[in-house]
Structure 1
Amino acid sequence: MYSPWLVPLALASGIVIGAGLVVLIVVAIERGRRARALSDVTLPDGVGAVLDTLDSAGFVVDPSNNVQKASAMAIATGLVAAQQVVHPEVVALVERARDEDHPVSEELQLARSLREETNLRMLVRASRLGSRYVVVLAEDHTETHRLEEVRRDFVANISHELKTPIGAVGLLAEALESASDDPDQVRYFAKSLTRESLRLGRLTQDIIELSRLQSADPLTEPSLVDVRSVINSAVERNRVEAEARGIEIVVRGGKHASVVGDADMLAVAVHNLVANAVHYSPDGSRIGIGAAVTDHGIVEIAVTDQGDGISEADRDRIFERFYRVDPARSRRTGGTGLGLAIVKHVVQNHGGDIRLWSQLGSGSTFTIRLPEASTASVPVRGEN
């Protein structure tokens, strides 16, 4: 039997279903419009290529601070990781740039993620890129600040180091004059005056030597250098002091090793290592000097002592100018604080490096590593 309610019920259902379909269609259209709008906003042409060629750190972030593109250096320095800006200080600078009509910049001190012993000093610039993005460029000034600190320390240290013996010479000269009637006092002050003048002379010579090593072309006349001869020369220069303290110096290897360079400079470098080993070794101990050629064509000259060793905190600074592990002992033994700095520069000028192994209570080993001389014809000093 036909019910009068079927027609209005069918009409109502049709209206509801139709309205639902209309809503779904409108939502789908809106989503598509938004998706097209988002897809239409892309990085300006050329930005990605520029970042790919940058040697410095650079990256682009979107409104959510997600990194859309980053240079290799931005990732290597730890500014960007997993498409995110790592440091909150940089994020804050980005937010400032969004609110400004001009680029903003600031020098930031940023913590390293792996090497926490030294913070990064970065000059960071941020600027809006279109209406959506922000581009960030960062210059690493860490090394510049480190060198500036070294320069300031060098000037301060050299002033102090020169002032001490010069002041001592003046005081001893006055004391010598006032004690002219006392022969014993005259001899005592004369010996002290000689000691201070020798120390001043060594310090001046080391400064001159270090300046020469830092010149543009320190190896003006390279020649074939016999490694064993260099070692023997260094040993002879330290033999008297070593024997006076009962220290035995043992030399092994290096008879058939040779390098190309300046024999006198290399002799100074090895001498400085041996002299340090003698100064910091206990009486009656042994110093070992070994030389060998590795399978990779590297000549290694190792100087090992049985001293107190060097702490881990001091190892990073041991090759700095005027740096002393034990300042009082260095001055007592006549050390200038430039010996290891000279060694480092000599080795670097010869295309090599120097390595340190040390353990407190077990002594230290300094190893000079230099390229072995090739079979090419190299002039030997003294030949015509």
Structure 2
Amino acid sequence: MLDTDLSRWLDAEADDLDRGLRDAEEVLPQLAAAGLFGLGVDEHLGGAGGDIRAAVQAIAAVAGHSLTAAFVLWGQRTFIEYLLHTDNAALRERLLGELLSGRLAGATGLSNAMKYLSGIEELGVRAAPSAAGWRLDGRLPWVTNLRRSGFVVAAAVELPGSAPFIAAIPDDLAGLTRSEDLQLLGLQSSNTAALQIDALQLERDWLLAGDARQYLPRVRPGFLGLQCGMTIGLTRRSLQEVESQLAAGRSVLEADWRDLRARLERCVAELEQGLCAGRFLGEPASLFRLRIALAELAGQAVQLELQASGGKAYLQQHGAGFARRLRESAFVPIVTPSLVQLRGELQRQAAGAGA
């Protein structure tokens, strides 16, 4: 389903993107040129129409070539999803066109907030009222798609004596400092960095949601569902690599390959049905379990690819693609919310139900 030019570019640059040898500024324009940001966005808002399933499929397709690029696409499309759910129509109108065109990068910044929603940690940004809005202080330690040529980041903000809120913070405000890129094991050309916020004055027209505790459950299915697209694409690619080896003396692996492929497509069908029907709004645990199952499938698929490839996967000359997918698969269990956090939340829910 991907544009041919984008597919070729991703295949040529995937290893360099993962290792940080390609300028991260180039990723967003490539994705924008293929029209991926408007998938699942109503046409009257400037999008391509359809529903969120099209965006999940696009992220999966990109991840089959490069998880780094898919990570950037996830960040951009997830911020767009935040705008689709905001009551601040003026803010949506001001930002959406720039985001759909890729001229502006959207950074989700709500990983900390998703953990806050599950009671895992406190919010990292605090506010105090000011004449025009709020003074913000705090830190976001890990945010993707912080493009140096221009970004806007979503953040959940603690407001003492009131409900926490969600704000969009543009990169040109005094008091916002972007760190150097984090030194990750992979996915290095993803513009992933930390943000320090010191005495930042934010006006009220940058408000995404006045009550984070009501807003976050509404956007969580999109946040996690789009994130699952990365895992789906990686798993499919490894299974494709296995399939290409089955006729070369690796037929003993065919039963495992068929089993993994069938389990993956069952998960995909359940994910798409749940997103389309809105089921995950009232049943977040179902989405958590799907995220866990998909992450486990990714790990199993990459290991099966290793068995199918044999010793050549360990040779640098032949195994670069596998080595990258192995690093990519190591990221899947730890991206927020991590599998440990999801399992902990499921355990708390089960304990609460049994009390």
Q: Same fold (TM over 0.5)?
A: no
Where relative contact order (Cα < 8 A, 6+ residues apart) is larger, the structure is 2
Q: Name whichever structure is richer in helix by fraction.
A: 2
TM-score by length of 2: 0.26
The structure whose Rg is larger is: 1
Indicate the structure with greater strand content: 1
TM-score normalised to structure 1 length: 0.25
